């Protein structure tokens, strides 16, 4: 068995939104697939109306297959401080042509303002490891964990694009989706993430610098967050770049295009093109741009978010416990 679903970027590629169906008859919601977390939670009819601004909500009472998971609750806080919480139903969930009949669907009762303020996002679908699912008293399997035994291969791939629709595929590697070879690197899932260590980096056409960077492949984080020393080495090469504490990160003149950023994956490399490093203009006046590469200060590890992932075809291989990165 295998499947595929399209995923679309919001403005500035801030997040990627993917359609799913829940319940009987199917309720269609659009959610953020997140390899950096492991809860499938959605806006629901159990929320206060004031917390809902345009989102589509899951109504378990309108699904003949929903069953409340008695006594279970969940509560999650993300790296950016956003949060949500609620209770749990078991219901059928379909992604593309793949269906899990008894998927734990975490219905929100409360969400923080970051979620209320995004009318296009109806929830999150965690693709991290089940060990960090927040349901109490019994953690619940992710969609991928529930379906992976029935897939032809226990893996999924992320093909995120800059300003264009991409796809998540389950159970197969599409040879037409990438070029060259896939660079494989072992995954450390001890913290519940798709963790790996990059051996180093290069700035533009400069020499490769050996510098271990341990982090996670996280489709739910927008930027590429790296060690302070690596980030300052990169921005040192951009005329007029500076750390702007008001903006909360490095800002630089939007033109000329900044240098590429290259990071290692095992004995291969991934190139973030300079024109993907300019994340977004900070103001129309003097055309300064907020950088897509920023410090990982305070997190405890680096985060290879969408700025890194959208340059590549990435294989999240649970069977082999490895990550594969390829150019496209
Ligand atoms: C507010 N929103 C939509 C978020 C979505 C995902 C995340 C995250 O850290 N994922 N790994 C944070 C925030």
- 80 within ligand 1 shell (Cβ under 6 A): yes
pLDDT at residue 198 in the model: 99
Prediction pTM value = 0.98
Do 157 and 317 form a contact (C-beta atoms < 8 A)? no
pLDDT at residue 84 in the model: 99
Alpha helices (runs of H) in the chain, residue ranges in sequence order:
113-116, 143-147, 228-235, 274-277, 306-309
- 192 within ligand 1 shell (Cβ under 6 A): no
Maximum CA extent, the chain? 61
- 218 within ligand 1 shell (Cβ under 6 A): yes
pLDDT in tens, 20-36: 999 999 999 999 999 99
pLDDT in tens, 237-269: 999 999 999 999 999 999 999 999 999 999 999
Do 42 and 57 form a contact (C-beta atoms < 8 A)? yes
pLDDT at residue 286 in the model: 61
Whether residue 137 has a cis bond before it, omega within 30° of 0 = yes
For 67-73, which contacts have Cβ atoms below 8 Å and span 24 or more sequence positions? 67/91, 69/104, 69/135, 69/140, 71/137, 72/135, 72/136, 72/137, 72/138, 72/140, 73/135, 73/136
- 121 within ligand 1 shell (Cβ under 6 A): yes
198 is catalytic: yes
pLDDT at residue 278 in the model: 82
Name the stretches of the chain with pLDDT < 70: 286
34 is catalytic: yes
Question: To test ligand 1's pocket by mutation, which of 10, 14, 32 has the most ligand atoms within 8 angstroms of CB?
Answer: 32
The DSSP code for 142 is: -
Look at ligand 1, atom 6, and give the residue with the nearest C-alpha: 220
pLDDT at residue 279 in the model: 84
Look at ligand 1, atom 7, and give the residue with the nearest C-alpha: 220
């Amino acid at each position: 068995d295998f499947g595929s679903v399209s995923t679309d970027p919001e403005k500035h590629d801030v997040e990627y939104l993917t359609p799913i169906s829940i319940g009987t008859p199917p309720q269609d919601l659009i959610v953020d697939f997140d390899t950096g977390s492991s809860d499938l939670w959605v806006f629901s009819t159990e929320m206060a109306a004031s917390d809902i601004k345009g989102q589509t909500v899951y109504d378990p009472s309108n699904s003949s297959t929903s069953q409340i998971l008695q006594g279970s609750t969940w509560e999650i806080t993300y790296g950016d401080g956003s949060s949500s919480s609620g209770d749990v139903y078991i219901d059928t969930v379909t992604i593309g042509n793949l269906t899990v009949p008894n998927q734990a669907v975490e219905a929100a009762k409360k969400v923080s303002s970051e979620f209320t303020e995004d009318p296009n996002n109806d929830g999150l679908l965690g693709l991290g490891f089940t060990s960090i699912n927040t349901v109490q008293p019994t953690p619940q399997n992710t969609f991928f964990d529930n379906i992976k035994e029935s897939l032809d291969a226990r893996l999924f791939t992320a093909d995120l694009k800059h300003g264009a629709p991409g796809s998540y595929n389950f159970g197969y590697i599409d040879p037409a989706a990438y070029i060259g070879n896939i660079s494989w690197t072992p995954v450390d899932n001890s913290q519940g993430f798709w963790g790996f260590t990059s051996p180093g980096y290069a700035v533009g056409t400069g020499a490769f610098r050996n510098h271990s960077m341990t982090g996670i492949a996280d489709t739910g984080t927008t930027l590429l967050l790296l060690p302070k020393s690596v980030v300052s080495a990169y921005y040192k090469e951009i005329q007029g770049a500076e750390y702007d504490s008001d903006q909360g990160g490095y800002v630089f003149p939007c033109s000329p295009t900044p240098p590429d950023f290259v990071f290692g994956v095992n004995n291969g490399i991934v190139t973030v093109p300079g024109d993907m490093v300019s994340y977004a203009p900070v103001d129309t006046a003097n055309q300064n741009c907020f950088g897509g590469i920023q410090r990982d200060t305070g997190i405890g590890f680096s985060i290879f978010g969408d700025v890194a992932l959208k340059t590549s075809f990435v294989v999240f291989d649970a069977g082999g416990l490895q990550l594969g990165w390829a150019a496209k």
